[in-house]
Structure formats: C-alpha cells, structure tokens
Amino acid sequence: MASHLARRLIRRPVSALFFLRSYGHARHISHYILRGGSVCTKPMREAMEFFPRPSPYKCWSRSFASDGDLVDAVVPYMGESITDGTLATFLKKPGDRVEMDEPIAQIETDKVTIDVASPEAGVIQKFIAKEGDTVTPGTKVAVISKSAPSDTHVSPSDEKLGKDTGAAVPAEKKIDTQVPKSEVPKVDKLKTPPPPPVPKTSPSEPQLPPKEKERRVPLPRLRKRVATRLKDSQNTFAMLTTFNEVDMTNLMKLRSDYKDAFVEKHGVKLGLMSGFLKAAVSGLQNQPIINAVIDGDDIIYRDYIDVSIAVGTPKGLVVPVIRNADRMNFADIEKEINTLAKKANNGTISIDEMAGGTFTISNGGVYGSLLSTPIINPPQSAILGMHSIVSRPMVVDGNIVPRPMMYIALTYDHRLIDGREAVFFLRRIKDVVEDPRRLLLDL
C-alpha cells in the first residue's frame, strides 16, 4: 500500500506537495529546488500556484533529517556543475538562537559561496562538521533543537549587560528599568545621523573631468578580446621566460646566396621566419612537452605541430595558424605566411584560420624590439619571441669580430614545463639557426 502511494506521488508532483503540506513537519517548508538548479523562496501557497496543471516540473523540498525535537541542518544543493565545497566558516555558535532559514554556516565552492540555512527555528545544540571540511550536498552540519527555550542562551550583548549589574537579566527588562519605551524611538532619532547623499555619478561616467585635447572612443571588440585573453593567461599560467642569443651570420648568408633562385622557382621571397619556424619545429620534436598542454588534471600531448604566427594589423594583433608545419618545407612555409598575412591585413581572415595552434612565434624584431617577455597565447603552453638583429662584438676563435646577433626569448608555463626542457628547446633553435645544415643531416 505504501509503495503504491509513493509511486502515485512521484508521478504527480503537485499532489505530492499537498500531501506533504498536510503533515506538521513539512508545513513550514518554504524553499523548493526546481529542475535546473533555481530556488523558489515563495511561501507554500504561492509555490503551488507557480506550477500550471498539469506541471512538467518536478519539485523537491529542502532536505533535512528530523528526529522529533531535533532537526539536522544539511548542505543544500549547490548546482549541476558543483559536486562539493569547503566549509569555510560558522556564522553561529552552539547555544545560539536561530530562526528558520537563518544562515548558520557558509560553504565555499569554486564558483560561489553558499549559505547553510536553519530548517527550523530553535537553538543550535552542536556542530557535526568542522571548518575546513570538504562537504557534499546532504552532509550534516549542525543539530538544532526546536523546543529549547529561547532564553537558554545569553547573547554577547546580554552577557556584558549582566556583568555590569551583577546579575543576568533579560535585555528587554533592563531597557525598561533605565529608559521608558516611549522615549527610546525619540532618542534614536536624535542620535541617528542623516544618511549620506547618494552620488549622482555612475561607474560608467568618467571619474575625472575631461581635459583639453582629449577624446574618448569605445574600446574595439578585437582589443577587448585580446585584453581578456592576455589577462586570463596571466591569471592562469605560471609564466617564466628564459633567454638566449643567436648568431644570424649563416642564416643571413644562406638567404643572401639563394634569394634570387628561390624567388624564381617558388615565386615568393625567402625570409628569416621560415628558418626560425623550421628550427622551432625541430625543437618541438626534441622537447614534445612544450607542444603539450594542461587540461584539468591531464596532460594532452599533440602528435601534430600547428604553429601560430603573431601578425600586427591596423585593427590589432591576430594570430593565424600554419597547419602541420612539421610537414612543410621552406617554400611552403613562406607561401602560407604570405597568404595569411595578406588576409590579416585586409581583414578577410576567418576564425577557422586563427583557431587552434599548439605553439606561437612572435617577431617583435620587425618593429625594432631588442628584448621582451612575450605572453603565452592560451590554451598553448609556450611562445617564442624573436627580436631585432643588432651587430655586436663577439669572440669567435679567440678574436673579437662583429656579428649580427638576435636575442630570443621563450615564455613557458612552468606548471608543465621545467627550466631544463625550456633551455634545451632554445639551445636547439640556436644550433639550427646558426648552422642550417643540421636540418639536412637531421642533427
């Protein structure tokens, strides 16, 4: 009989609510959790009127355990994506008087802070959980007595008043013996200062008066997106930058010797970027951890190399991706770079051509940058920064000679990549750029 009644109530949630309402332990329930995580705090009658008949929604009452006079306050439902939280602090103490729905503790999750409310009016008998415990929905936090007298616990203000007079007397009686009730509101009105004037300016208005020769324009959407991604990168990654210097003599000589033949055969100019990209591919193959990424509690290793090239445009910085760079030769790389750079400057580049990428190269040297610490392009784990070529005195075979030198920088996520791998990666780029013959011999 009981199981048959339970099945009928489950199929008819509205009838179930009327059934629960007929019992004394459920008549005060005023919180209902709707499917999807929203909470209804209206009284029972209004909550009943909220559902159309027949209602497609199911309704659950706030769960708490009851043992006659004692009830348990439990951790409430915290949302679909939140499975547990940390008991941060207690807002009450054992012996404190609490009203129904009054918060007694706070639960911190990875998204929000949730209150644990008292299911009934009464006095807190004891706490079951402790601060710092990891709790889940339904975990018992405190035991509350519904029938405990309200004067069993003396509040801190009453304790102080009792110490001054030598006896613990109720606060209301003490006020009656000192100040007539009719005079209390009058004294409060005299002592209460007037509320401060409400500021007329809103946060969106400028805080400083405008000055001459200034103009205000809306932030472009591209700049907003760049700002958000870069700030998220700083907040997420443990970024560390390591540096090295490269002698550009041999790569520049290779370019000078074969630039005409290269243009004649492939139709594009031979640049320095293709040499660095081939060197980066070799470094990523030697240190695959730099091509990997952290995803939650896992490490994702990529068996492909898609290199993002940072391109500055009049509208802002864009990062097109060269797919499968490990399968390209110098000519293929130069052609792809030229095609993507033209699209970026013309504003015709698509989202798909900028999506993805496992590693980024940023060439600040074209603007004259001598040294910088680039910021990782999420969700990648590292970025290579190239800089300007400067002729500096170097010691070669015991002699001081001028050499075209470039500083290179690697910013990496130190959570995943150690300094050893980062230094080996830069050393590989240095070796390949200084002696491009290594690529032919796979050395």
End-to-end CA distance of the chain: 82
**Length, in residues, of the chain:** 443
Portion of the chain with pLDDT greater than 90, in percent:
32
CA neighbor of 380 nearest in space, from 275, 230, 223, 225: 230
Residue pLDDT, tens place only, 190-205: 455 555 555 544 445 4
Give me 126's structure tokens. Answer: 């004891």
Give me 443's structure tokens. Answer: 């050395």
Dist CA 66 CA 145 (whole Å)? 10
**Which domains, from first to last, does the chain contain?**
16-62 (no CATH), 70-148 (2.40.50.100), 222-441 (3.30.559.10)
What residues of the chain score a pLDDT lower than 50? 1, 14, 17-18, 21-63, 111, 151-190, 200-203, 205-206
Element (H, E) at 403: strand 399-413
Separation of CA 273 from chain center: 34
CA neighbor of 105 nearest in space, from 72, 154, 70: 72
Q: What is the pLDDT of residue 117?
A: 87
Dist CA 108 CA 130 (whole Å)? 13
Residue pLDDT, tens place only, 134-191: 888 888 888 888 876 654 444 444 444 444 444 444 444 444 444 444 444 444 444 5
DSSP secondary structure of 425-439? HHHHHHHHHH-THHH
Residue pLDDT, tens place only, 323-372: 999 999 999 999 999 999 888 888 778 778 888 899 999 998 888 899 99
CB 83 within 8 Å of CB 136: yes
User: Could you list the active site residues?
Assistant: 414, 418
Residue at token pair 């990168």:
233
Dist CA 268 CA 332 (whole Å)? 10
CB 361 within 8 Å of CB 284: no
Give the angle 149-157-104 at the CA atoms, nearest 5°: 60
